[in-house]
Every structure is written in structure tokens, then in C-alpha cells.
């Protein structure tokens, strides 16, 4: 049951911002990062897989792991949460969709202008010049957890191709971050959906929106510690809560 507050806030809002995290894709079968037992960071040490140092030390280990994750993304389908966000984007005039996810499930659900704060797994790039690299079509076939796979190299200069994601210690893509910051400073209603809210600077967007006086809403299956900082806390799976919210609009 959705309380009237967030529904009224959405109806009245001129600008709505949504920040999504791994939880929005959980019901598409993609692992989150911090879930006990199944979370990626419960089973793989981020320092071995998600840093520049890790890639430089063992490029094949890191590339193989991202190919395994890319395979999982390509096998997944958008869920009702992704589809509800697309419906929301069509219903409302101003909606900024910012995600920490590297999958393309928002896009495949039909959402437009998705800002990826942590990069996109389908768009690797050259280590030396940053130029985008086109991967061969088709789904890579990787065993669970990946195996070592040599990353491709640029044909002209021989430089290694790296995954198109943001690693620990790296800056966020400037344009994406600026758009996210601006949206947080301007929105009337801010939703954080399926994120633990522990990774900076993405986590600071909620603080920015609150400071601007926006109504803030969390959608999550668990407590995150943000409950006292948001105006409304909607407990439940995003794939259930979001469609219900859209139905009431
Ligand atoms: P986390 O794994 O930290 O958090 C996922 C959140 O989703 C948790 O709070 C869960 O309770 C919630 N959740 C799980 N299933 C859900 C569902 N069906 N509906 C709603 N909520 C659900 O993932 P993120 O917060 O996205 O960064 O993690 C942030 C960043 O940390 C990631 O982008 C990644 C990681 O290190 C990089 O790799 C740079």
C-alpha cells in the first residue's frame, strides 16, 4: 500500500530525480554488491577485480570477470521496476534518471537519457587514449565467476582495452556527474531506489536534494540507515513498489 504522500508529491513535482542502484536489477537476476552470501563483494574482493592496480597486475583475470558479468547482463531482461520507471518518464515532464548500475536494463526497458555514474559494461575503451572499443556481437560464454580471458588490444597502437566501468579510486565521468549534481540541486522529489547509499559521491546526491528542500523517498527491501533521512520510506521490492506507484498516479 503506497501512502498518499509520495503520490501527491509526484503529481505536484516539476522535476523528479531517480537514483537507482543494484537493487533495481536484482529481480532481473543480477547480483547486488553487498547482499549477504550472494553479493558480488561478498564473493570477490573488489581490490582484486575493481581497481586499476588489479587490471594492471592481472588484466586477463579482471577482463574475464567483467566478461562473465557482461554475459549475465546480456542474459537478463528488464523487470517490472525498470518498466515502471519508463512509464513514469512518459507520464512526467521532467524526470532525471541517474544510475549507479553498469547494466543497460533501463535502456532496454525503454528509458531515455540514462546517466550512468559508474560507466557501462558494454562500452570498454582504450587504456591509452580512452577511445571506445566495439566488442564482437553475441553473448560471451563464461563459467561462473569468470576465467582468465586476455583483453583485446587496439589494432593501431597495441594498447590494452579496459572495461568501461569506474573502478575504486577513479573519478566519475564528468558530464554524467555534473548532470546528476545539477538534477539533485533542482529536483522537487528525489527517489533512491535499490541502493545501499554507501558509495560516494553518488550517496551525496540524497544530501544535496534534501538540502534543496526536495521530498525524498527511499524504495528498498531492507533498512539501509537512510530511513531517518528520507521523507518517505517505501519498503519492498522495486519491481512491486514502482508499478504500484505508477498505477496510483
Ligand atoms: P548494494 O549491493 O550496495 O545495495 C543494493 C541495495 O538494493 C541494498 O540496499 C538492498 O537492500 C537493495 N535491494 C535488493 N534487492 C532489492 C529489490 N528487489 N528492490 C529494492 N531494493 C533491493 O548496491 P549499490 O548501492 O548499487 O560501484 O552499490 C553502489 C556501488 O557499489 C555500485 O555501483 C558499485 C559498488 O561498488 C562500483 O563498482 C564503482
The verdict on the CB of residue 32 being under 6 Å from ligand 1 is yes
Please, what is the average pLDDT of the chain? 95
Percent share of the chain, pLDDT over 90: 92
Residues 126 and 137: their CA atoms lie apart, in Å, by 18
> Which carries the bigger pLDDT value, residue 75 or residue 146?
75
Is 82 catalytic? The answer is no
Residue 241's pLDDT band (cuts 50, 70, 90): very high
Please answer whether residues 237 and 221 qualify as being in contact, where contact means their C-beta atoms are separated by less than 8 angstroms. yes
200-222 tens-digit pLDDT: 999 999 999 999 999 999 999 99
170-181 tens-digit pLDDT: 999 999 999 999
Q: Does the pLDDT of residue 230 top 80, yes or no?
A: yes
Given this model, what pLDDT does residue 143 score? 76
Percent share of the chain, pLDDT over 70: 100
Pick from 20, 22, 65, 80 the residue to mutate for probing ligand 1's pocket: most ligand atoms within 8 Å of its CB.
Answer: 22
Given this model, what pLDDT does residue 140 score? 86
Pick from 76, 81, 162, 199 the residue to mutate for probing ligand 1's pocket: most ligand atoms within 8 Å of its CB.
Answer: 199
Residues 139 and 119: their CA atoms lie apart, in Å, by 19
Residue 62's pLDDT band (cuts 50, 70, 90): very high
* Residue 129: φ, ψ to 5°: -115, -5
Mean pLDDT of 226-232: 96
Mean pLDDT of 191-206: 97
Ligand 1 atom closest to Cα of residue 117: 33
Residue 48's pLDDT band (cuts 50, 70, 90): very high
Given this model, what pLDDT does residue 156 score? 84
Given this model, what pLDDT does residue 93 score? 83
Q: Does the pLDDT of residue 100 top 90, yes or no?
A: yes
Which domains occur in the chain, in start order?
1-30+77-119+172-249 (3.40.50.1220), 31-75+125-162 (3.30.1600.10)
Burial code (b: 16+ CB inside 10 Å, e: under 16) for 116-127 equals: bbbbbbbbbbbb
Q: Does the pLDDT of residue 144 top 80, yes or no?
A: no
3-41 tens-digit pLDDT: 999 999 999 999 999 999 999 999 999 999 999 989 999
Please answer whether residues 26 and 105 qualify as being in contact, where contact means their C-beta atoms are separated by less than 8 angstroms. no
Contacts with 141 (C-beta within 8 Å, 6 or more apart), sequence order: 71
Ligand 1 atom closest to Cα of residue 46: 36
Given this model, what pLDDT does residue 18 score? 98
Q: Does the pLDDT of residue 190 top 80, yes or no?
A: yes
Mean pLDDT of 172-201: 97
The verdict on the CB of residue 195 being under 6 Å from ligand 1 is yes
CA–CA–CA angle 146, 142, 72 (5° rounding): 90
Residue 46's pLDDT band (cuts 50, 70, 90): very high
Amino acid at each position: 500500500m503506497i501512502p498518499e504522500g509520495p503520490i501527491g508529491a509526484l503529481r505536484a513535482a516539476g522535476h523528479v530525480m531517480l537514483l537507482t542502484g543494484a537493487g533495481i536489477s536484482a529481480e532481473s537476476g543480477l547480483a547486488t554488491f553487498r547482499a549477504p552470501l550472494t553479493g558480488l563483494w561478498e564473493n570477490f574482493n573488489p581490490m582484486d577485480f575493481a581497481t586499476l592496480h588489479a587490471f594492471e597486475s592481472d588484466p586477463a583475470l579482471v577482463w574475464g570477470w567483467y566478461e562473465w558479468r557482461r554475459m549475465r547482463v546480456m542474459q537478463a531482461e528488464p523487470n517490472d521496476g525498470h518498466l515502471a520507471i519508463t512509464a513514469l518518464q512518459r507520464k512526467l515532464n521532467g524526470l532525471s534518471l541517474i544510475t549507479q548500475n553498469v547494466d543497460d536494463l533501463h535502456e532496454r526497458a525503454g528509458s531515455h537519457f540514462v546517466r550512468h555514474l559508474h560507466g557501462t559494461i558494454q562500452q570498454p575503451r582504450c587504456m591509452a587514449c580512452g577511445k571506445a572499443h566495439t566488442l564482437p556481437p553475441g553473448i560471451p560464454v563464461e563459467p561462473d565467476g569468470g576465467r582468465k580471458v586476455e583483453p583485446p588490444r587496439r589494432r593501431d597502437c597495441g594498447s590494452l582495452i579496459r572495461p568501461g566501468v569506474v573502478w575504486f579510486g577513479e573519478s566519475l565521468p564528468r558530464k554524467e556527474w555534473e548532470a546528476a549534481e545539477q538534477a539533485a540541486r533542482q529536483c522537487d522529489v528525489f527517489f533512491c531506489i535499490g541502493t545501499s547509499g554507501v558509495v560516494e559521491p553518488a550517496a551525496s546526491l540524497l544530501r544535496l536534494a534534501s538540502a534543496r528542500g526536495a521530498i525524498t523517498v527511499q524504495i528498498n527491501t531492507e533498512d539501509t540507515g537512510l530511513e531517518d533521512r528520507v521523507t518517505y520510506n517505501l519498503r519492498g521490492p522495486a519491481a512491486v513498489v514502482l508499478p504500484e506507484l505508477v498505477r496510483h498516479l
